[in-house]
Structure 1
Amino acid sequence: MSKNVNIDWSNLGFSYIKTDFRYVSRWKDGSWDEGQLVEDNQLTISEASTALHYGQQCFEGLKAYRTKDGKIQLFRPDQNSKRINNSCRRILMPEIPEEKFIDACIKVVKANEHYVPPYGTGATLYIRPFVIGVGDNIGVKTAPEFIFCVFCIPVGPYFKGGLAPVNFIVSEYDRAAPYGTGGAKVGGNYAASLYPHEVAAKKGFADCIYLDPATHTKIEEVGAANFFGITKDNKFITPQSPSILPSITKYSLLYIAKEYLGMETEEGDVLIDNLDRFTEAGACGTAAVITPIGGIEYKGNLHVFHSETEVGPITKKLYDTLYGIQFGDVKAPEGWIVEVK
């Protein structure tokens, strides 16, 4: 570590901390510039930017992990690159070449290396790439210019008291429209989720469950995470729908369940009226890896899976395996880890 920072690693939360450098690249006249590391954490943009008026922006989230031997590694950044480009295509923004995307992430991590938490603290360096439409434009059309930026912040482990189940409630609101932007990581999806989340939180739940917008019969997402369930006959099942954000964590768990734990896996319909088929359930995403689901409340009834207090054995194995891969303690599949050198 090149420099000491005064951070209590064991008490880090998930909140903004200004680190030393961020990467900024601008798109103009048909191409991206080379991009550079800057110290200023303020962006100056036109008041007429499409990001401000028409929601033309998208973002990603990934992490850098410090291993036992002090190395720093990224987990599947190529998948974040593919997903940000999918989001960019969906809302008419220029794509970022994969090499540029991964190089930007590596540059930011190296420049802020002293903010990568020590191994064993459970803390990580969270990396936030984003693209916004900027420039002078007031018509409802794609922006004349764009900014691609990557910044990072050290964050604590999601579970302060260890892995513990939480309860969710089914929302009457929709997260996204059929054939809408549910499969893209755009800010509008998250803005739409703020109120339903608040409603769920006021009722004492961790977050809400969104059903499919067309029929309201199938589970789609759990707050800002993907759902999975373990059936009585040991199958790993997760919903499939074009309006679900394709979670990199979920696809990693699908692979781990099959290749590491020898389970059958399936992407398909998860009917809200047929939760009895699952002995365990969870939500998965970059922040928490896995959030075990104790129970789901639907139409006034709380359906409890394995337990409201204990984590199910398969959920625990999935969590330990993926966590181990990310921190370098379990052998990773080919191509999953990019070392920051």
Structure 2
Amino acid sequence: MEQKKQLVDLDWNNLGFSYIKTDYRYISYWKNGAWDEGKLTKDNQVHISEGSTALHYGQTCFEGLKAYRTKSGDIQLFRPDRNAKRMQESCERLLMPVVSEEKFIDAVKQAVKANEQWIPPYGTEGSLYIRPYMIGVGDNIGVQPADEYIFSVFVMPVGAYFKGGLTPTNFIVSEYDRAASYGTGAVKVGGNYGSSFLPWDKAQKRQFSDCIYLDPATHTKIEEVGSANFFAITKDGTFVTPASPSILPSITKYSLLHLAEHYLNMPVVEGDVYIDRLDDYAEAGACGTAAVITPIGGIQYKDDFHVFYSETAVGPVTTKLYDLLTGIQFGDVEGPKDWIVKV
């Protein structure tokens, strides 16, 4: 039987969500039209040419997923095949070489296994955050795709996004667009995030957690919540989430859609969520890898502040979905076939 590595000395119950240097990261290079085999390295510094397209033209994309320690001590990943597929779509959009699903999952497993002692113990609500990314590198200067690329995966322990359980938070509708109608909104590329810093800062200065972004064409429909997807529960119990070619296809969102329909027997709809029809919804939330679910207490739109279920308490359907999804991720609830991959 393989010997388990002794955990590093950390205050596991008080981890935040910030960078921590762990022991190893995976790195692979694309040169002359092919990927090398990749390797683990202790070096957390990336050495690239000053002409790298990632620095000048934004030729960079990334992913985010987690590894979880179960009650029995197993280590498992949640739907890494979906992250692999989404990264391939991001790469294709930026004319970068794709990483096969097999290589992607193998790289993730290598990075997780090499840093096993950094995975928070079961019961702390912590997990190992995994950040795969790809950048265009090499000696370039013209506005064109690079000839060389780096694909890397690094990891770090993170705590529960919420201290003391789920807590509703408030958002404000931004006058800025997150992405153009036919731009890069549906892929996970760096430029989408850099452009969100100013709207986020303005929201913070008005005491809101982040922005609600409307559709860029008409500014009448909700698209995303900061860097997360939006969902709501109608007063008659339907799970609703926006549909748009500008929205990043969140793995968490599609998992919640499946669980709402097949585990909670709720009607589900991907469709338009009009900003002037918020009274149709009893609960609302944002969803993504970091927090799983962020309950939305209220939304400020122009001069109106709309409260959903409560500014202080979490709605019953949101709570059920959160408990169900995290139960699957930590191995306490049996999820759909192929959602869990053991490390």
Q: TM-score range by the shorter chain?
A: over 0.9
Q: Distance in 2 between matches of 1:189 and 1:98?
A: 24
Match of 1:19 in 2: 22
Match of 2:283 in 1: 280
Q: Distance in 2 between matches of 1:300 and 1:87?
A: 37
Unaligned runs of 5+ in 2: none
1:94-109 equivalences under 5 Å are: 94-109=97-112
Which of residues 47, 50, 55 in structure 2 aligns to 1:44? 47
1:106-255 equivalences under 5 Å are: 106-255=109-258
Give CA deviations for 1:162-214 in whole Å, capped at 9, x if unaligned.
Answer: 10100000000010011000001001000000000000011000111000001
Which of residues 271, 290, 298 in structure 2 aligns to 1:268? 271
Unaligned runs of 5+ in 1: none
Match of 2:76 in 1: 73
TM-score, structure 1 normalization: 0.99
Q: Distance in 2 between matches of 1:127 and 1:68?
A: 20
Give CA deviations for 1:80-119 in whole Å, capped at 9, x if unaligned.
Answer: 0000000000000000010000000000000000000000
Deviation at 1:278, TM superposition (A): 0.3
Give the stretch that moved more between structures: 42-51 or 4-13: 4-13
Q: Are positions 1:319 and 2:302 aligned together?
A: no
Q: Distance in 2 between matches of 1:2 and 1:328?
A: 20
Q: What amino acid does structure 1 have at the position aligned with 2:157?
A: P
Deviation at 1:301, TM superposition (A): 1.0
Q: Distance in 2 between matches of 1:229 and 1:4?
A: 39
Deviation at 1:300, TM superposition (A): 1.6
Q: Distance in 2 between matches of 1:81 and 1:214?
A: 30
Q: Distance in 2 between matches of 1:188 and 1:304?
A: 32
Q: Distance in 2 between matches of 1:81 and 1:253?
A: 19
Which aligned runs of 4 or more in structure 1 are off by greater than 6 angstroms?
none
Give CA deviations for 1:299-340 in whole Å, capped at 9, x if unaligned.
Answer: 121100000000000000000000000000000100000000
Give the CA RMSD over aligned residues. Answer: 0.5
Deviation at 1:161, TM superposition (A): 2.1
Q: What amino acid does structure 2 have at the position aligned with 1:47?
A: E
Q: Distance in 1 between matches of 2:16 and 2:284?
A: 25
Q: Distance in 2 between matches of 1:87 and 1:300?
A: 37
TM-score, structure 2 normalization: 0.99
Give CA deviations for 1:194-241 in whole Å, capped at 9, x if unaligned.
Answer: 000000011000111000001000000000000000001110000000
